[in-house]
Structure 1
Amino acid sequence: MDWRSVTFDWNRARAFLVTAEEGSLSAAARALKLTQPTLGRQVEALEAELGVALFERTGRGLRLTAAGHALLDHARLMGDGARALSLAAWGQTEALEGEVAISASDADASYLLPPILARLHAAEPGIRIEVVVSNDLSDLSRREADIAVRNVRPTASDLIARKLRDATARLYAAPAYLERIGRPDRPEGFADADFIEIDGRGSLRSLLAAQGFALGEANFPYRCRNFAVMWEMVRRGMGIGILDDRIGDPDPAVERAAPFFAPVAFPVWLVTHRDIARSRRLRVVFDALVEGLGA
């Protein structure tokens, strides 16, 4: 058969693929931003077109049939191809108008990106920016974002990256809180201080223990995995937290809590997909971030 004579609706295949991955029509409809009846009609149309049942309807949702399982890998290959085509086409545009999505941690998105994006908008008002706030690594190949600010070097061969700087994080607290605990100048002086843990692994406690702080669970009355919220707690005098000194040092509501504490170094990388790096619009945004975050 000549493949050029075959007609195929990618929207129907995408409806099948996302429904299979999400496990229900309702979840797939949310992911694709479609109504559930519209998505259901697309799946049914594909079943009619192929002449096979792809799903079994159960009381708890949908289950792939044997035919559905057999065709799922082919649908995934089509999805990968569609994403690759979209990325390659995105990379050919020279227009300085349109959207660019930037993925960044809550701390960077809250405190470092706004002035950079304001300058970018003043220079290129046709570029619209979506800020994707996530402390996890966004999947650039799946277009969860176009550019990502990361603290780890990417390993995927289809990504390109530029190291911007080695950042440092320090301990901070509100001046009134430091007055209340007597402004200690050595680790043992913090025996009764409150700290705000940053994750469920006890990372801050481990960092402090490595520098001679003998602290127990009572020293960590709060745990907050959102750095922007943690920072507001610090500013309100609820305890001591750790953050990038490019955010902490300029903030008049806080000061360094332990000047003797050796800062924790971490890298800052700017990452994008190799195909869309050829886009003029993306290059302008990428360069603005290099200048603003790397200065």
Structure 2
Amino acid sequence: MQWDDLKIVLALSRKGSVRAAARRLALDHSTVSRRLGRIEETLGLSLFERTGEGLKATAAGERLIQAAQQIEDDLADTQRQIRGHDQRLSGPVIVTAPDEIVATLILDELADFRARYPDIELRLSMSYASADLMRRQADIAIRVTDEPPAHLTGKRVAPYVEMYYASRDYIARLAAGDLREGPQWIGWPDASRRSHVFAESPFPNAPVAMSINGLTSYREALARGLGLGVLPCLLGDADSRLARLRGCDPRHVSDVWLLTHESARRRKSVEVVMNMLSAALIRARPLFAGKRKPA
């Protein structure tokens, strides 16, 4: 069995369907299905069961997945050790970060950075998920978390503070008692956190009119006067269409961390990107903390 076969098995286990695995591997779904059949025929075992919720690994499949994951980890570790000796200021550096941090802060730094380091190819991946630095999905991660993974190295660079916002017109109509339906919240799918956050607001009993999963659309819904909501101060204070709810204090909900793997940090190109990101994030501490408006 070849490593390409194991990559098929890993993609199927992680994505849960042939089509999703094919997209992940940049292959046609019929190719993935055919290769899975060939692997199972070679082994004389069924590796996955098809259920209403997608593919589920059999006992034999689980054993093969664990072995494949170990091989993948070993290969990634070898790559990191080799790349750790790279002192060139060139090549790709992959950074994963929340979209609002990249759009609000990091993009402003890139023109100067590219002028200074034209041979470094910066690859930005907008994500809130925990990209696996161990498996080389990223070299550097900006993450909002209370406790970063123990195997990563880095530092806390800023507080992550939220506040209640609405459009300026919505707040004016709310103050004048001119909202026919009364105050309503724009929520998000995590109902447990949502109920806790709204309960601490001036309008704990206001209904949730809609839920939106995605900060860009969420902010736009607030700006268009569709209700009250919660945003990180970094995002809410930067939008002139929005205003804070009066009588509320910003809420420190987590921290912003700049993280990498120790072996990746030894690469000179990763080091200079880390330094650029660190400086930008530290300068923005007052914005993260909701202590001043952007210029």
Q: Which amino acid aligns with 2:44?
A: A
1:264 aligned onto 2:251: yes
Shift of residue 19, structure 1, vs aligned partner: 4.6
Match of 2:99 in 1: 106
Query: Which structure 2 segments of 5+ residues have no match?
Result: 284-295
Aligned to 1:29: 22
The reply to whether residue 195 of structure 1 matches residue 185 of structure 2 is: yes
What is the aligned-residue identity percentage?
Answer: 26
1:226 aligns with 2:237: no
Q: 5+ residue gaps in structure 1?
A: 1-7
Counterpart contact for 2:40–2:46, Cα < 8 Å:
no
Instruction: Report 1:61-210 matches (<5 A).
Output: 71-182=64-175, 192-210=182-200
1 CA distance for matches of 2:212 and 2:102?
Answer: 17
- 2-structure distance, mates of 1:217, 1:264: 20
Cα distance in structure 1, aligned partners of 2:60 and 2:200: 56
**Aligned letter for 1:194?**
Q
Residue 291 of structure 1 deviates from its aligned partner by 0.9
Q: Paired residue for 1:286?
A: 274
Deviations 1:134-159 (A, max 9, x none): 23322222333222211214453321
Q: Give the C-alpha shift of residue 269 in structure 1.
A: 0.8
Q: Note the alpha carbon deviations across 1:79-98, whole angstroms, 9 max, x for none.
A: 11112112222322222222
SS in 1 for 2:165: strand
Match of 1:237? 225
Contact 2:91 2:120 in 1 (8 A): yes
SS of equivalent to 1:286: helix
User: How far apart in 1 are the matches of 2:221 and 2:17?
Assistant: 40
Bigger radius of gyration, 1 or 2? 1
Q: Does the CA contact (< 8 Å) of 1:17 and 1:72 recur in 2?
A: yes
In structure 2, the partner of 1:5 is: none
Matches within 5 A, 1:28-67: 28-35=21-28, 52-53=43-44, 55=46
Give the CA RMSD over aligned residues. Answer: 3.5
- What code does the residue aligned with 1:112 have? L
State the 1:71 CA deviation: 4.5
Letter in 2 for 1:216: N
Report the more deviating stretch, 52-61 or 17-26. Answer: 52-61
